[in-house]
Amino acid sequence: MRIAHISDIHLHLDSHNTMVEEFYVLLKKVLQKNPDHIAITGDISDNAQNKDLEICRLILDDLGLLKPHKTSVVIGNHDIYGGVFHAEEIFNFPEKCRSRDFDSGISNFNFHFRELFTECLYVSENNSYPYAKLINDTLIIGLNSNIPYSQIQNPFASNGLINALQREEMLQILQDFSRYSKHIIILVHHHFNRIKSGSSRILQTVWNNIEKQTMKLRKKKVLFNIFNEFKVDLVLHGHLHEQGNYVRKGIKFLNSGGSLKNNDHLLNFNIIDLTKNGIAIEQHSIPFDKSKFHSDKHITEYRRMAEQVDARIAV
């Protein structure tokens, strides 16, 4: 079983840097590795706009990936709340988050990728998370780690939590279906590792301290216990815009949050091979020079179609 893992695409058609071309080329490179399944762990959209989710859907469909046995997605915080793109927006962002309906944001995301939530072993009645699929003897469980905006607990709408109801349903999934699988993979947006500062500058240190309080996943210990009890093989996530793998409490984690959102003009993705002998992970980085990229005619058509869908939904 071979799984390709990407995350944090941050498509944004209203931005100068839309990430559409990068995403298209990234998927083409991923498909050259012949994965059995592709996992996308959140922040598909940069600003929670329908047209950005729709253009992702169109690209997946064109490449034959808008199928539940081919692709799984989970939702990220940007897919619900969007983000801050200019300094002056910082002061208005809390009000923007307050005005967003949390449950409607999740339902809207799921609607754009509705085909991927079919043919599942389990789909929660609580806005589709958790869900479970059995692909080639591998049990894949998707979780929603986002939480409603709170001025105190979630001031930048970027903290996370797997709530009690999801944990209960995940336990039931594991109890019912883990016996039929050879491997167990968890998909979630938020990271489990600690943010480390690589800078000695005071301003950078202050910002890192802010990040630690506004990008954290709460109640991780409960999840560690569940993952260990059922011998979860690997947890795939994003959120932090970097690539890497690490171990916490005996559990293996793999981050692909730097798939496109990095400062090195690279297309990054992970390839995971699950065999009877264990797990092998390859991290791939491919240089991308946008100035030399000739936009595929399909991409122009995708943009037009996505804009039309956005206009219809707005009405």
Residue appearing with tokens 């253009």: 55
> Would you say residue 206 has pLDDT above 80?
no
Q: What are 39's two structure tokens?
A: 């996992």
By mean pLDDT, which of 93-102, 127-136, 212-221 is the weakest?
Answer: 212-221
Distance CA 283, CA 33 (A): 12
> Which of 233, 251, 252, 236 lies closest to 190, judged by CA?
236
Range of the domain at 179: 2-314
Range 289-294 average pLDDT: 76
Per-residue pLDDT band for 196 (boundaries 50, 70, 90) equals low
Question: Looking at residue 204, what is its pLDDT?
Answer: 44
CATH of the domain at 164: 3.60.21.10
Summarised one tens digit per residue, pLDDT across range 248-262 is 999 999 999 999 987
Which residues neighbour 174 within 8 Å (Cβ) at sequence distance 6 or greater?
Answer: 139, 141, 184, 226, 229, 230
Bridge partners, 69 (sequence order): none
> Would you say residue 207 has pLDDT above 50?
no
CA dihedral 294, 296, 300, 303 (to 10 degrees): -110
Q: Which helix (H) or strand (E) holds 254?
A: strand 251-256
Distance CA 42, CA 143 (A): 10
> What percent of the chain stands above pLDDT 90?
74
Q: How many residues does the chain have?
A: 315
Question: Looking at residue 293, what is its pLDDT?
Answer: 74
Question: Looking at residue 300, what is its pLDDT?
Answer: 83
Contact 67, 115 (CB under 8 A): yes
Radius of gyration of the chain (CA): 19
Query: Rounded mean pLDDT of the chain?
Result: 91
> Would you say residue 222 has pLDDT above 70?
yes
Summarised one tens digit per residue, pLDDT across range 223-244 is 999 999 999 999 999 999 999 9
Per-residue pLDDT band for 7 (boundaries 50, 70, 90) equals very high
Summarised one tens digit per residue, pLDDT across range 146-156 is 999 999 899 88
Model confidence, pTM: 0.93
Q: What are 81's two structure tokens?
A: 């709340």
Summarised one tens digit per residue, pLDDT across range 114-135 is 999 999 999 999 999 999 999 9
> What percent of the chain stands above pLDDT 70?
90
The whole-angstrom distance between residue 67's C-alpha and the CA centroid of its chain comes to: 17
User: How many domains are contained in the chain?
Assistant: 1
> Would you say residue 187 has pLDDT above 90?
yes
What Å distances lie between residue 256 and 5, 56, 66, 241, 292, CA to CA?
A: 7, 17, 20, 8, 25
User: Phi and psi at residue 282, in whole multiples of 5°?
Assistant: -120, 135
What Å distances lie between residue 27 and 33, 65, 141, 288, 296, CA to CA?
A: 10, 10, 22, 13, 14
Question: Looking at residue 218, what is its pLDDT?
Answer: 95
By mean pLDDT, which of 59-73, 76-90, 195-209 is the weakest?
Answer: 195-209
Question: Looking at residue 203, what is its pLDDT?
Answer: 44
